[in-house]
Amino acid sequence: MNFSRMWVSGTLAILWAGAGAHPGLAQATHDTSHSGVKERERIVLSHVLPKLDGDHLKATLVEVNYGPGEFSPPHSHPCALIGYVVQGALTQVEGEPEAVYTVGESFYEGPNGVHAVSANASSTEPAKLVAYLICDRDTPINVPVPDSKAEGGK
């Protein structure tokens, strides 16, 4: 395993394990001893990443907040993205049927997939997700979809 792949794997493990320190982000999953002590970590998502150069890697962690009824205009992420919902529910459409993700659920988005819809699924409650992006180069974290006429969130 080359250094860049080990670094990415280690970084992901540290970030997701760190989520276990926050009681709202992880649930006890199994006993680690006969004393009944529960572990505070769980694997939320595991996905093979696209081939990366390794010489110019950049990891970015972004908190995305949607107010009630808010949405993003159609957009794309040039980098692989792992999302984790920490509050509310989000509707996502990326080249597949519409999916609603709720607290504790995660999802993977491959590079350059188009979000036709990225929205708060509720018109009365806020929603929040944490997005972890891994890029080969110093690129923007999202880009508008060409010829998109949709207006940005409310």
pTM for this structure? 0.66
Which string of b and e fits 115-150 if b means at least 16 CB within 10 Å?
beebbbbbeeeebbbbbbbbbbeebeebeeeeeeee
pLDDT band at 9 (very low <50, low <70, confident <90, very high): very low
Number of separate domains in the chain: 1
Higher per-residue confidence, 70 vs 24: 70
pLDDT band at 128 (very low <50, low <70, confident <90, very high): very high
What pLDDT does residue 138 have?
75
61 domain residue, yes or no: yes
Higher per-residue confidence, 23 vs 139: 139
pLDDT band at 1 (very low <50, low <70, confident <90, very high): very low
151 domain residue, yes or no: no
Domain assignment of residue 23, given as a range = 3-141
96 domain residue, yes or no: yes
150 domain residue, yes or no: no
Q: Quote the mean pLDDT of the chain.
A: 75
What pLDDT does residue 7 have?
41
Query: 37-89 pLDDT, tens per residue?
Result: 667 887 888 888 888 777 888 889 999 999 999 998 888 888 888 999 999 99
Q: For residue 126, what is the domain's CATH number? A: 2.60.120.10
| Mean pLDDT along residues 16-44 | 53
153 domain residue, yes or no: no
> In the predicted model, is pLDDT for residue 19 greater than 70?
no
pLDDT band at 35 (very low <50, low <70, confident <90, very high): low
68 domain residue, yes or no: yes
> In the predicted model, is pLDDT for residue 109 greater than 50?
yes
105 domain residue, yes or no: yes
